[in-house]
Amino acid sequence: MLRRVNMKRETRVTDGATLRKSRLMGMFRFIADSEGASTKMIQSFMLMNYGLKFKTSSDYIHEASLAGSLVLSRSGEWIISKAFKRYLQ
């Protein structure tokens, strides 16, 4: 089930890194609140909330998994790693 996360309106972002971080944190919060999400659920969330293409969202997921922030559960859903959970609190 997709949930809409109350996001601050992205206004006057000074650089791409700040915008990217905002999007990534929104993605992480969505996954944490959902207690796991499939790739398609994450892609849909990112499209609805940020207007991102599925490919861009897949790249975000891939990079987050390489960094150890996301891990793929046995059920095939992405979950926040135990080590990264403390940053979301």
The CATH number of residue 65's host domain is 1.10.10.10
Residue 36 and residue 3 in contact, taking contact as beta carbons nearer than 8 Å: no
Kindly report, residue by residue over 22-37, the tens digit of the pLDDT: 999 999 999 999 999 9
* Predicted structure pTM score: 0.82
Query: In this structure, is residue 3 part of a structural domain?
Result: no
Instruction: For the chain, give the mean pLDDT.
Output: 89
- What string of DSSP letters covers 35-89? TSB-HHHHHHHHHHHH---HHHHHHHHHHHHHHTSEEE-TTS-EEE-HHHHGGG-
Tell me which residues of the chain have a pLDDT lower than 70. Answer: 1-13
User: Whole domain around residue 49: which residue ranges?
Assistant: 17-88
**83 φ, ψ (degrees, to nearest 5):** -65, -30
Q: What's the domain count of the chain? A: 1
**70 φ, ψ (degrees, to nearest 5):** -120, 145
